[in-house]
Amino acid sequence: MPAPWPLLNRSLRGDYRVFTVHEETSRAPATGTTHDFYVIDSPDWVNVVPVTAEGELVFVRQYRHGTKEVTLEIPGGMVDPGDDDPAAAGLRELREETGYISDRVIDLGVVEPNPAIQSNRCYTVLAPDAYRVGPPQPDGTEDLDVVLIDPATVPQRIRSGEITHALVVAAFYLYDAWRRA
């Protein structure tokens, strides 16, 4: 079984508002050699699977600067320092991005977006019986369209490439596992 690598040095290389980059020097337990690594530190994230009382899923379409494309995703975002927990952050993001809320959440699980270079986690919560209370209230960096989707179409939307965000695909794996349990 591999052992943890002792951390010998850690230095900040860049601070970019939503993440920082650190250079870390660690020692390989098996050989004693040292190696440098770059780690991206970011707040934890949360994704919300909102399901209306009618059984529809609440999605958003939004432009993503990394891929320069409009994507189809579920609501989500960063867990802010003032959030009580990922579920509270998820409900906040749900309201801001879609105008929907839910009176409860169910924890579906957590994934590590890229443990090779990132230190954060992405939580997924289910928001059952979500209902609209007003218009979305996106922040200044978001331009969103709310879309209601039949859950039966999600697997085909993933296979066809309409849904490509890896953390959204992971969220639907967790949702499907929960539904089958």
pLDDT digits (tens, 9 = 90+) for 52-64: 999 999 999 999 9
The answer for residues whose C-beta is within 8 angstroms of residue 42's C-beta and 6 or more apart is 18, 19, 20, 78, 118, 119, 120
* Planar angle of CA 144, 147, 180, nearest 5 degrees: 120
Cα gap 9→21, rounded to integer Å = 14
pLDDT at 131: 98
Q: Give the pLDDT confidence score for residue 52 in this predicted structure.
A: 98
Candidates 131, 123, 40; CA nearest to 84 is: 123
- Please list, in sequence order, all residues whose beta carbon lies within 8 angstroms of the beta carbon of residue 124, skipping any fewer than 6 positions away: 46, 47, 48, 49, 107, 108, 109, 110, 111, 170, 171, 174, 175
Q: Are 141 and 63 in contact (CB under 8 A)?
A: no
At 75 the pLDDT is 98
9-41 confidence digits (pLDDT tens): 999 999 999 999 999 999 999 999 999 999 999
**What is the rounded distance in angstroms from the CA atom of residue 137 to the CA atom of residue 144?**
9
Q: What pLDDT, in 10s, does the model give residues 111-161?
A: 999 999 999 999 999 999 999 999 999 988 899 999 999 999 999 999 999
Confidence band for 163, pLDDT divided at 50, 70 and 90: very high
How many C-beta neighbours within 10 Å does residue 163 have? 21
Confidence (pLDDT) at 59: 98
Given CATH 3.30.450.40, say whether it is the number of domain 45-180: no
CATH 3.90.79.10 residue spans of the chain = 45-180
Question: What is the pTM (predicted TM-score) of this model?
Answer: 0.95
- Find, among 99, 86, 101, 95, the residue nearest to 47 by Cα: 86
Token reading at 2? 């591999």
Per-residue model confidence as pLDDT tens digits over 69-113: 999 999 999 999 999 899 999 999 999 999 999 999 999 999 999
C-beta separation of 48 from 94 below 8 A: yes
- Residues 155-171 have a mean pLDDT of 98
